[in-house]
Structure 1
Amino acid sequence: MTKLCANLTMLFGELDFLDRFEAASNAGFKAIEFLFPYAYEKAQLADLLGKHGLTQVLHNLPAGDWAKGERGIACLPDRVGEFQEGVGTAIDYAHALGCKQLNVLAGIAPSDVAADQVRSTLVANLKFAATQLAAAGIRLLIEPINTYDIPGFYVTGTQQTLELIDACGSDNAYLQYDIYHMQRMEGELAATIQKHLPRIAHIQLADNPGRNEPGTGEINYPFLFAHLERIGYDGWVGCEYKPASTTTAGLGWAASYLQPSA
């Protein structure tokens, strides 16, 4: 059975962020993910997870100034110290929240830095993070993202991501496969997931076009969910989409995977 987790950055957006934990539990989700926890106290978030019986599946490493358009700093040569400090902060939060996976966003490639330096910076940062996370009992994930939504993003495809993982030389680095992003960049979803299944630690979803819930676009999610079960994917699938109306109104597609408590 496909295991769905709610991305609280995207879902239940009509509510204050801290109220979304209860809403996710009431909707039948047993696990959650979100972009960043760092604006909140660790104990406050841990209390909400325990109170509502939720597992924290994933959050991201610090990714720079999100409000100013930064989408990660791992490929930026002049931000290595900040990146390494952020790894320590992320580990502290992950331990407090019982989170066993952290995702790294590579960032937008700087136009004034040589391509080989951008790549070598990212590889070195991935190696550092993977090593630190391994010692902490946490897996490092790397996510390719489409360049329609984030122009200039450095990591944009499955093969590129796997080559970066190979270059960093760690067995504690995995692919985070976002179905929406990869539909836009490369397609061939089912075959790609099956081919690289041992290297995929987490999957996320949204339909295309629009990045709304499954059933609103071109992606055949009933087929993909059956495919994931057939090939033996046993990880979580994060619901990282923009509800077409409200989250609750649009959850019909997930009825067979959730057990609402309210």
Structure 2
Amino acid sequence: MKRRNFVKNTLAVSALGATASSVFAEEKNTGKHKFNLNYAPHFGMFRNSAGNDIFAELQFMADQGFTALEDNGLLGRTVEVQERLGKELQRLGMTMGVFVVDGGDNWKISLTSGKKEFIDNFVKTCKISVEAAKRVNAKWMTVVPGFYDRNLPIGIQTANVIEALRRGAEIFEPHGLIMVLEPLSDTPELFLRNSDQTYMICKAVNSPSCKILYDAYHMQRNEGQIIKNIELCWDEIAYFQIGDNPGRKEPTSGEMNYKNIFKYIYDRGYKGVLGMEHGNAKPGKEGEEALIRAYKEVDNFK
């Protein structure tokens, strides 16, 4: 064997022996890391590395190998910014993830009550969301039904939510858009809390435009058994979000085995977006670099 080939093969074997080396090897050859799944950062996550300009930060995300973006506050941006964002995402070959169908105080305004004022506001915001989605080529929009209405039986509240969501689905269906319902753990006052409850509501709405946003952080807090519950709800899940528990920071910062979770999702053939709906475990540019390393580590499951 020629010395040159021997050295080359030896280095390759050494790289396979260390996770950190293997995940960075591809970057050295291609200039950009290739993730197995479509992880979506949000603006502000890399501010220390890219600066305060959102378009510079978007470029930074793409340079790190991220192939999607989340922007919950998209509806609050001007039409001009939305249009530019759509063009930049297209240029960079990135997918737009969720934004929030936000008609005010999104948590508290409750579809559980069945009140006309809330339904009308929801329908109006859905129509606005269609136009925003077109500008950024988005497909998914987050919907939170709101708080419990303690004056009504749970069955009546559930029926009210289903009826309201059917109204939303009628708006989104002609455009091929999907509202994704997110069960949350932030407060016990929130109506939508568990994946099986959300699954049942999606089945009742019975529309391709009404599916589940499975946020693994919230579901770890509310119900656990992440992979088992993803399996049970799989046919109604259209979108995932990420956050480790406790703390709601990047994977590897808490108790959750995201390498196994991501491998399961990948092996099921999921091609959609996984929103990085969390903060950074460490401050500053060093924390941002640590976050990127963490994703390379847990995504290295093949």
Q: Could you say which TM-score interval applies, normalised by the shorter chain?
A: 0.7 to 0.9
- 2:78 paired with 1:41: yes
Where 2:147 maps in the other structure, the secondary structure is coil
* Equivalent position of 1:11 in the other structure: 45
Deviation at 1:123, TM superposition (A): 0.9
Deviation at 1:80, TM superposition (A): 1.2
Q: Distance in 2 between matches of 1:35 and 1:76?
A: 25
* Equivalent position of 2:104 in the other structure: 64
**In the alignment, is the contact (CA less than 8 A) between 1:42 and 1:97 conserved in 2?**
no
Aligned residues between the structures: 252
**In the alignment, is the contact (CA less than 8 A) between 2:110 and 2:148 conserved in 1?**
no
What are the Cα deviations for residues 138-157 of structure 1, in whole angstroms up to 9, with x where unaligned? 112111111xx223110000
- 2:114 paired with 1:77: yes
**Residue from 173, 194, 198 that aligns with 1:161:** 198
Taking the TM superposition and a 5 Å limit, the aligned residue runs for 1:36-185 are 36-51=73-88, 53=92, 54-65=94-105, 70-78=107-115, 79-146=118-185, 149-185=186-222
User: Gaps spanning 5+ residues in structure 2: where?
Assistant: 1-35
User: Gaps spanning 5+ residues in structure 1: where?
Assistant: none
Q: Match of 1:251, as an amino acid?
A: I
Deviation at 1:59, TM superposition (A): 1.0
Q: Match of 2:98, as an amino acid?
A: L
* Equivalent position of 1:249 in the other structure: 290
Q: Distance in 2 between matches of 1:153 and 1:17?
A: 34
Q: Distance in 2 between matches of 1:31 and 1:94?
A: 15
Question: Comparing both structures, which one devotes a greater share of its residues to strand?
Answer: 1
Identity among equivalent positions (%) equals 23
Deviation at 1:113, TM superposition (A): 4.4
Alpha carbons of structure 1 residues 47 and 237: separation in structure 2 relative to 1, 3 Å = same
Q: Match of 2:295, as an amino acid?
A: A
Deviation at 1:228, TM superposition (A): 1.4
Q: Distance in 1 between matches of 2:108 and 2:47?
A: 21
Question: Comparing both structures, which one devotes a greater share of its residues to helix?
Answer: 2
Q: Which has the larger Rg?
A: 2
**Residue from 209, 226, 235 that aligns with 1:189:** 226
Q: Match of 2:104, as an amino acid?
A: G
